[in-house]
Amino acid sequence: MSFEVMLRQLTVGFGQTFLIFILTLVFSLPLGMIVYFGRVSRFRPLSWLVKIYISIMRGTPLMLQLLVWYFGPYYLWGMSIGGYKLTAILLGCSLNYAAYFAEIYRSGIESIPKGQYEAAALLGYSRGQTFFKIVLPQVVKIVLPSVTNEVITLVKDTSLVYSLSYVEMFAVAKQIAAAKTTVLPFFIAGVYYYIFNYAVAWIMERFEKKLDYYR
Instruction: State yes or no: pLDDT of 15 exceeds 50.
Output: yes
What CATH number corresponds to the domain at position 86?
1.10.3720.10
Instruction: State yes or no: pLDDT of 214 exceeds 60.
Output: no
In a domain, 158, yes or no: yes
What is residue 99's predicted lDDT score, i.e. its pLDDT? 96
What is residue 213's predicted lDDT score, i.e. its pLDDT? 55
In a domain, 187, yes or no: yes
Residues 155 and 196 sit within 8 Å (Cβ to Cβ): yes
Residues near 143 by beta carbon (within 8 Å), at least 6 away in sequence: 104, 105, 107, 108
In a domain, 191, yes or no: yes
pTM score: 0.88
Which tens digits make up the pLDDT trace of 168-192? 898 888 888 888 888 888 999 999 9
Which tens digits make up the pLDDT trace of 75-105? 888 777 777 889 999 999 999 999 999 999 9
Torsion of CA 172, 174, 178, 184, to 10 degrees: 90
Return mean pLDDT, the chain.
88
What is residue 98's predicted lDDT score, i.e. its pLDDT? 96
In a domain, 198, yes or no: yes
By residue range, what is the domain housing residue 124?
A: 3-210
In a domain, 54, yes or no: yes
What is residue 1's predicted lDDT score, i.e. its pLDDT? 66
In a domain, 215, yes or no: no
Give CA–CA dist 137/36, Å, rounded: 16
Reported as a pLDDT band with limits 50, 70 and 90, residue 48 is very high
Reported as a pLDDT band with limits 50, 70 and 90, residue 135 is confident
Instruction: State yes or no: pLDDT of 44 exceeds 80.
Output: yes
In a domain, 181, yes or no: yes
Most confidently modeled range among 49-53, 139-143, 162-166, 167-171: 49-53
Residues near 87 by beta carbon (within 8 Å), at least 6 away in sequence: none
Residues 193 and 155 sit within 8 Å (Cβ to Cβ): yes
Which tens digits make up the pLDDT trace of 107-130? 888 888 888 877 888 778 887 788
Structurally, how many domains does the chain consist of?
1
Residues near 94 by beta carbon (within 8 Å), at least 6 away in sequence: 23, 24, 27, 28, 31
In a domain, 73, yes or no: yes
Write the DSSP assignment of 108-122 as a string of letters.
Answer: HHHTS-HHHHHHHHH
Instruction: State yes or no: pLDDT of 215 exceeds 80.
Output: no
Residues near 113 by beta carbon (within 8 Å), at least 6 away in sequence: none
What is residue 194's predicted lDDT score, i.e. its pLDDT? 93
